[in-house]
A and B are shown apart, each in its own frame.
Chain A
């Protein structure tokens, strides 16, 4: 007879809570009653497969939330959505001025503008996904404490926002490539494959830093520096091979790491589809092209492996913390 009688604590400031007046509870206890009536533990974490199914059910919410967030981003400024296009253009313009014009890293690189624009946009995709991903939990704590949905929705939605912005940037990239006289070929279709792989990779990275950022809130302060260092080491504005050639003492394992760096592999795969070999028989130009476009052996296989390992790894790492995100 649940609560048909009224019970109150005897002492004014009792340290113990009230005993339960429900006779069934007294007899069976909480776990016993839960077992008898098939009640589930509130907020319990499902297994990874069931969790993926819940994410699939939440897909409409994820995409709608991401799109709305993306549009709201520039709604406060006068030019509004035009910033979606202006931001990547200005971003590239700054790097072109500093690296292409002032520091001259364009030397020996064929079609440097297309080379640079590809590098900046593709690296920026990973950089922003990780940067905003690390704040996915702390920025949305109100949402997490108000509604139940699989928490991985947030880092995934944040990566989708970055993908939407990248797709606008890709239109700019194609316009630049056409303007530079690069021909449209079937190779351009492979760019979509590379971007799909990078999306999986970036989602995994965003999930990873999201949980890390939820445990250690200082992550979002430190991450910009790590990501900037990573960018300078990823051959975004220069060719890694040409740079390594200038330093003959570089140890072999370091060269291997520089060549197999996942964001660089994605960048190089896309550059290879866009930039066609120069039509001269000059051996230096041919050697420069080979150096600037260098890909490690089995580069596509390596890209697939990176996407799977980091995508799945980030997912499992984030899933393990599912119950903790509401506590802040």
Chain B
């Protein structure tokens, strides 16, 4: 779970290499990955959300509620959002897959379904190798606590053991850079942090653990440009150690930098699946015409 990362095996940023080399390396990686065992198999997946008090003004009102009570139309009390409408794909060890699509197309929902946070209902399903982990530690942190205590809390929430946390604690603080220049921000409550500082600490905590299947939701592009580069390098490092990486991002460039393959989702369905350049180009073309 926590083997040392050998920095030499981590490839340099994509921008450093000439274009042909990037393409050649990617083609080689994809050909290798195609022979690897699968880590995530998604078969005819449907995900429904329930939302209370949504839609129509009458739903939340007292008369509307009374009306429902007397007419026993209980299913109307909540609106059902069919977020994923039956998709299938296979992801194998060594693949890095970008999920792209317009707002509300179901990207984040798909990640949550793979992580087992929103299990499939009745038909279809998601089969995974081990417990995929969503890089979403943000929700466990508390603004009233100091940065130090949030590091411990966040790491515990990701399932790290207290002794492991002791080992890694200083690394997390150093990577986030919040204590640089003698600022000592880690001793202050997180609510006193600037947006950038908070985002940097959150990313550092989330990126502490190595995973077999790593799911990243809009965690890129946090902080200043220096930290952004460091965080992209860290994701590459995680990718080279993890079995499979999924990335949700609205930044097409970071998807191109990090991923070999892309899946384009639109209205809960897969619109296109394949090489990252072809899919992102088609998506950009489609976005321009819209």
Most chain B beta-carbon contacts within 10 A, residue among A3, A38, A41 = A3
- Check if B157 sits within 8 Å of A24, measured CB to CB: no
| 0/1 string, A11-42, CB within 8 A of B gives 1 | 00011111111101100011101100111111
A64 contacts B52, CB within 8 Å? no
B126 and A42 contact, CB distance less than 8 A: yes
**Count of A-B contacts with CB under 8 A?**
202
Interface residue A289 (Cβ < 8 Å from any Cβ of B):
no
Question: Whole-angstrom distance between the alpha carbons of A57 and B1 in the complex?
Answer: 15
| A25 B41 Cβ-Cβ under 8 A | yes
State the CA gap A5–B261 with chains docked (Å). Answer: 10
Q: Is there an interface contact between B157 and A18, defined as CB atoms closer than 8 Å?
A: no
- Determine if B118 and A327 form an interchain contact, defined as CB atoms under 8 angstroms apart: yes
A69 touches B142 (CB 8 A): yes
A288 to B11, CA, bound (A): 83
Of A64, A145, A327, the residue contacting B48 (CB under 8 A) is A327
Contact of A33 among B30, B127, B261 (CB under 8 A): B127
Interface residue tally on B, bucketed by range: 35 or more
Instruction: Provide the bound-state CA to CA distance between A42 and B45, in Å.
Output: 12
Q: Does B5 contact A (CB under 8 A)?
A: no
Scoring B52, B88, B124 by chain A CB atoms within 10 A of each residue's CB, the highest score goes to B88
Judge whether B128 and A68 touch: CB under 8 Å: no
> Which residues, 123 to 146 on B, are CB-close (under 8 Å) to A?
124-134, 136-140, 142, 144-145
A2 contacts chain B at the CB level, 8 A cutoff:
yes
Within 8 A of A (CB), among B70-108: 85-92, 95
Q: Are B140 and A41 in contact (CB under 8 A)?
A: no
The 3 closest A-B pairs by CB, nearest first: A43-B116, A30-B43, A6-B274
Pairs across A and B, CB under 8 Å, 24 listed: A2-B92, A3-B275, A6-B278, A17-B270, A22-B90, A24-B90, A25-B41, A25-B90, A30-B43, A33-B38, A33-B41, A33-B127, A39-B40, A42-B114, A69-B142, A75-B144, A145-B112, A146-B136, A147-B117, A147-B157, A217-B52, A326-B112, A326-B118, A328-B49
Known: A31-B43, A44-B119, A148-B131. 19 other contacts (CB 8 A): A3-B30, A3-B90, A7-B272, A18-B88, A22-B90, A24-B38, A25-B41, A30-B42, A33-B38, A37-B37, A39-B128, A40-B129, A43-B119, A60-B161, A68-B142, A72-B142, A145-B139, A148-B134, A217-B52
